[in-house]
Amino acid sequence: MYFRISDIKNSDFIGKEVSIRGWIHRIRKQKENSFLLLRDERGDVIQIVYPSFKTDNLTIESSIGVKGVVHKDKRAPEGGYEVRGSDLDIYNLSQIDYPLGEYTSIDLLLEYRHLAIRTRRMTMISKIRSSLLRYLRDWFVYNDWFEITPPILVRSSVEGGSTLFKLNYFNDFAFLSQSAQLYLEAMIFSLGPVWSLSPSFRAEKSRTVRHLSEFLHLEAESPWVTLADLLKVQEDLISSTVSNVIKERKNEFEFLRIDTSKLENITPFSRMTYREAIDLLRNKDFKVVYKGSPRPIEYGDDLGIDAEKLLTENSHVPIFVTNYPLKIKPFYVKVDPNNEEEGLAADLLAPYGFGEITSGGLRESNLQQLTKRMMLEGLVSSDYEWYLDLRRYGSVPHGGFGLGIERLLRWILFMTDIKDTVPFPRTMSRINP
């Protein structure tokens, strides 16, 4: 029987013989003894001591089985436990030219991502990512929302034509889905509140630290909701998930030297309207580049990365920005009955400068309004007839939102580059490994 390393680092095991297996994380050969750091498949490490003659041919990343006795020795790294090895099984002697070391460049780490995911840093991130997905799902299960699985091959664009991936589809064409929203909207008529977790694709032609061309998208949609209801759902979902994740993954956050006090007491989320955001930015003398030259930001401009950074960098809690001008939001956003120029939409901006992590709001449920807006956006109606049927046959007030998993992780991990939050990032310049 093989133990996990995390189990044997325990005073009950002192003096006991154990078998463990894993990979050689580090090796230091001295005259009499060799000191290995063995890493198991959970990313935990422990020091192994062998007489040096036994380890002559061992290399970094070789996979081995170790039998030996557990000792407490305060000189041993990572908790003061070590195994004094007797037997040694070699599963695979790693080639001597293992390409990654302590000082590998960021580019090389991306080139060898299939190996770099073995680093302890990436292991910790992956564990946090897994817990995050688990607690998000738990929230929906607990609150009685149905999980659905939308199609990925689609004919309709949701978030504008410029970021669509187009592909051959038999004798025709299709797109990779940008968002499951339209399909979630179709499902609320028979399931009520629904949600999905699926990849979304965006042919982002800009290189930024917060855009991937494939990202994991959590989307939710419900009939009979108000904008206030939707904000409440997001606040509850995100705050309870973050609180559970930092509890469950305390050690991982510690290893990554993340100050989790910055993730505690994040409710209530604050709120401002888009107009208030613009006023705030103007007071801070924020400028945008317009036709090649800078000018003060104006009502009607998009809030880009830098504007969102300025709005959130001194906030400890996430901020909802609501009531956007319709012309900077997609066709489906519901018109505010009190202001024809604005839509009942909201983006959620993460604090400490991280910016947008969700977009959502109420959907236009009126057939004429929706058709008019789709025409303005130049959407070919034959591909959207099915969607318009949802407004023809028993349309109801409804709304929802989309949350970017990597965006949420980028915030709670306090990492600048979104590529760090996903094992195999896809960007404009990277599709392999």
Q: Which residues of the chain form contacts with ligand 4AD (CB under 6 A)?
A: 158-159, 179, 181, 202, 204, 211-212, 215, 217, 219, 356-360, 400-404, 406-407
Gyration radius of the chain's alpha carbons: 26
Q: For residue 137, give the H/E element and its range.
A: helix 120-142
Contact pattern from residue 300 through residue 339 relative to Mg ion, giving x for each residue in contact according to CB under 5 A and a dash for the rest: ----------------------------------------
Residues in the chain: 433
As a whole number of angstroms, the distance between CA 402 and CA 217 comes to 7
Closer Cβ to Mg ion, 64 or 346, answer by number: 346
Applying CB under 5 A, the span of 251-259, 274-282, 351-359, 403-411 interacting with Mg ion comes to 351-359
Which of ligand 4AD, Mg ion, none does 406 bind, CB closer than 5 to 8 A by kind?
A: ligand 4AD
Q: 396: Cβ–Cβ under 8 A, 6 or more apart, which residues?
A: 188, 189, 223, 224, 365
As a whole number of angstroms, the distance between CA 227 and CA 139 comes to 20
Which of Mg ion, ligand 4AD, none does 179 bind, CB closer than 5 to 8 A by kind?
A: ligand 4AD
Which of Mg ion, ligand 4AD, none does 34 bind, CB closer than 5 to 8 A by kind?
A: none
Contact 173, 186 (CB under 8 A): no
Torsion of CA 247, 251, 257, 258, to 10 degrees: -10
Q: Which residues pair with 349 in a beta bridge?
A: 319, 356
**Interior angle at CA 268, CA 263 and CA 273, nearest 5:** 115
The nearest distance, CB 389 to ligand 4AD, in angstroms, is: 19
Which of ligand 4AD, Mg ion, none does 420 bind, CB closer than 5 to 8 A by kind?
A: none
359 binds Mg ion (CB under 5 A): yes
Helix (H, G, I), strand (E, B) or coil at 259: coil
Closer Cβ to ligand 4AD, 40 or 406, answer by number: 406
The nearest distance, CB 78 to Mg ion, in angstroms, is: 42
Which of Mg ion, ligand 4AD, none does 150 bind, CB closer than 5 to 8 A by kind?
A: none
The nearest distance, CB 356 to Mg ion, in angstroms, is: 6
How is residue 404 written in tokens? 């970017």
Buried b (16+ CB within 10 A) or exposed e, 84-122: bbeebeeeeebeeeeebeeeeeeeebbbbbebbbbbbeb
The nearest distance, CB 399 to ligand 4AD, in angstroms, is: 8
Closer Cβ to ligand 4AD, 36 or 194, answer by number: 194
Closer Cβ to Mg ion, 58 or 184, answer by number: 184
Respond yes or no on whether the N-terminal peptide bond of residue 268 is cis (omega within 30° of 0): yes
Closer Cβ to ligand 4AD, 322 or 358, answer by number: 358
- Residue whose C-alpha is closest to residue 346's, from 312, 317, 321: 321
Which of ligand 4AD, Mg ion, none does 186 bind, CB closer than 5 to 8 A by kind?
A: none
How is residue 295 written in tokens? 């000018």
The nearest distance, CB 181 to ligand 4AD, in angstroms, is: 4
Which of Mg ion, ligand 4AD, none does 187 bind, CB closer than 5 to 8 A by kind?
A: none
The nearest distance, CB 29 to Mg ion, in angstroms, is: 54
Determine how many CB atoms are found less than 10 A away from the CB of residue 131: 18
The nearest distance, CB 210 to ligand 4AD, in angstroms, is: 6
Closer Cβ to ligand 4AD, 9 or 217, answer by number: 217
Which of ligand 4AD, Mg ion, none does 214 bind, CB closer than 5 to 8 A by kind?
A: none
| Binding footprint of Mg ion on the chain (CB under 5 A) | 359
